[in-house]
């Protein structure tokens, strides 16, 4: 779970924690964690949060050097490259299966050398905005400002964000207790809505483990404009599938700003600020950038908006529908969308009135 950036990890953890999940007894689970390589920089992230799960740390890499280069398992420097009965993975698995013990000799440790742990959080929109439970993007650079350890200082903590999935992973926290945290609702992104600050507890930070908190649904109190791209799937087949692209634009959310009447959108209070030029473009395999034209069908290399001076309002629906030709290059296509000041440059963040969102899809045969 190093630097998680996918909603998948969040879903996986909470599905395992669900009462409906027929999961094994934690004491019947063994995790073997390598300490020596850069594949997983923080070993505490590599085992399950449940402290009843048996974890052993060994002086091996997570993957051998040859294995990383695609040359097979290679040498026995990795935890899965088992060549003989002296390998710590072999010793651990054999003793665990034969008698439930966890003996692997001098190269095996029951705990990490340092008394540190990690924390995994997720932030979503609270109802009643137009997109409740939508992830709130967290910029990696802003991560150490979004959450602070009040009133203490933890100088070695690392912050790794999953921007599209609203996740924040904090490493190297002192284990042994809980830490008071403050979520700062105005520091997610420069072009993000503002949310109410919230004070929470980290829960018990366990040595060598990752503590996973329930997601925090944050209340908007002032609004900038949020745009989101989505599609029906992540992988499409050339010459066969129909590609669908959807856009969600969220803006008309009530604000608690005392200077505005109830129900008035903070951004739309200024009429000039309620108009945007909307841009949608795609970056294709091998390089190249093409902008969706105002006919919502064709693309051009010319930097033109798909809509001009669009009055800001809530919208959710399809923006592009097209059969996929079989002559298109295979690989990853990344779509971008952003709203800018009328006449502004979509590639210059100074002109943005919304976040810039992106969506990647893969084209196969």
**Along the chain (365 residues), what's the average pLDDT of each consecutive run of 10 residues?**
51 72 79 70 62 80 58 65 84 88 76 78 76 75 88 88 82 91 85 84 88 89 76 92 88 40 36 73 95 96 94 81 93 94 89 85 94
Which two three-digit tokens encode residue 354?
């919304």
Domains of the chain: 28-109 (no CATH), 116-221 (2.60.40), 223-364 (2.60.40.3880)
Residue-wise pLDDT for 60-71, tens only, equals 877 655 555 555
Which phi and psi (to 5°) does residue 317 adopt?
175, 180
Contacts with 128 (C-beta within 8 Å, 6 or more apart), sequence order:
none
Six-digit token string for 210? 């990752």
How far apart are alpha carbons 234 and 339 in whole angstroms?
Answer: 24
> What's residue 38's pLDDT?
55
Nearest to 267 by CA among 313, 309, 227: 313
Question: What local confidence, expressed as pLDDT, does residue 254 receive?
Answer: 37
User: What is the distance between the alpha carbons of residues 255 and 268, in angstroms, rounded to a whole number?
Assistant: 11
229-279 tens-digit pLDDT: 889 889 999 999 999 999 988 754 433 333 333 333 333 333 334 688 999
**305: left (phi > 0), else alpha (psi -120 to 50), else beta?**
beta
State how far the Cα of 23 lies from the Cα of 302, in Å rounded to an integer.
Answer: 54
pLDDT, position 316: 77
d(CA 245, CA 292): 12
Q: Is the pTM of this model over 0.75?
A: no
Cβ-contact 44, 117 below 8 angstroms: yes
């Amino acid at each position: 779970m190093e630097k998680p950036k996918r909603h998948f990890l969040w879903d996986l953890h909470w599905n395992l924690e669900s009462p409906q999940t027929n999961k094994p007894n934690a004491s019947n689970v063994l995790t073997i964690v390598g300490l020596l390589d850069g594949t997983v920089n923080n070993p505490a992230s590599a085992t399950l949060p449940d402290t009843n799960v048996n974890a052993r740390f060994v002086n091996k890499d997570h993957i051998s050097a040859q294995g990383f280069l695609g040359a097979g398992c290679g040498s026995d420097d990795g935890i899965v490259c088992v060549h003989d009965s002296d390998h710590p993975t072999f010793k651990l698995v054999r003793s665990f299966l034969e008698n439930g013990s966890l003996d692997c000799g001098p190269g095996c440790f029951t705990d990490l050398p340092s008394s540190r742990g990690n924390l995994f959080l997720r932030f979503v929109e609270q109802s009643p905005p137009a997109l409740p439970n939508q992830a709130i993007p967290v910029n990696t650079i802003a991560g150490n400002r979004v959450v602070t350890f009040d009133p203490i200082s933890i100088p070695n903590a690392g912050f790794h964000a999953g921007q599209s999935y609203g996740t924040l992973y904090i490493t190297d926290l002192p284990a042994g207790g809980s830490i008071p945290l403050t979520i700062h609702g105005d520091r997610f992104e420069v072009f993000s809505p503002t949310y109410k600050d919230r004070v929470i507890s980290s829960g018990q930070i366990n040595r060598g483990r990752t503590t996973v908190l329930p997601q925090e649904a944050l209340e908007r109190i002032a609004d900038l404009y949020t745009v989101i791209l989505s599609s029906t799937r992540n992988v499409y087949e050339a010459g066969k599938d129909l590609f669908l692209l959807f856009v969600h634009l969220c803006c008309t959310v009530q604000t608690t700003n005392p200077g505005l009447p109830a129900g008035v959108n903070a951004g739309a209070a200024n009429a000039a600020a309620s108009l945007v030029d909307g841009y949608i473009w795609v970056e294709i395999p091998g390089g190249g950038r093409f902008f969706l034209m105002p006919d919502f069908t064709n693309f051009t290399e010319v930097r033109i908006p798909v809509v001009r001076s669009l009055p800001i309002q809530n919208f959710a629906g399809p923006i592009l529908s097209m059969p996929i030709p079989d002559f298109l290059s295979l690989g990853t296509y990344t779509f971008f969308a952003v709203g800018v000041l009328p006449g502004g440059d979509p590639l210059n963040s100074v002109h943005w009135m919304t976040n810039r969102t992106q969506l990647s899809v893969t084209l196969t045969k």
